Amino acid sequence: MFEVTVKDHIASAHQLHGYDGPCKNMHGHTWHVEVTVMGEELDAIGLLTDFKVLKGKLKEVLGPIDHACLNDLPAFKDINPSTENLARYIYREFFKVCSPLKLKTVQVWESDTASVIYYE
C-alpha cells in the first residue's frame, strides 16, 4: 500500500459560539491542511498519483473557505467552525474529488503545535 500526502493552507476567520474563552470572539488562523490518499497500484511510470494533480484538487476544495469567515458559510450554519469540524468538512469535500484513490486522512493544523486528524 502506498500513501501520498500533499499540503496547502488557508487563512480564514471564525468564532466559537459557547466557548468560555477568547476564541468566542472573532479571530483568524492560517490553517495548514494535509491530505493523505492511499492505493495499491502504481501507474505505468511508477506513480500512485501526480502530486501536481492532487495539489490542484486540494486547492479546489480549499478555495471557497480561504479568506472567508467560516461562520458565514452554509457548511457551518448549524455547527461551530472548530478545527475538528473544519477537518471533517475538508475530508468530505475532498472525498468527492479523490476517486479512484482512497482518502485516508485530513490533518488540519490550527497552529504550529496543535492539529486535528479526521478520517472515516
- Is 98 in the active site? no
- State the catalytic residue, choosing from 23, 32, 69, 84: 23
Which three three-digit cell numbers place residue 48? 500512485
Candidates 2, 24, 26; CA nearest to 12 is 26
List 32, 69, 84, 110, catalytic entry:
110
Choose among 103, 55, 60, 111: nearest CA to 83: 111
Q: Of residues 3, 17, 27, 67, which has the active-site annotation?
A: 67
Task: Examine the residue annotation and report whether 110 is marked as an active-site residue of this protein.
Answer: yes
Is there a catalytic annotation at residue 120? no
C-alpha cell at 66: 480561504
Give the residue numbers annotated as catalytic, written as ranges: 23, 67, 110
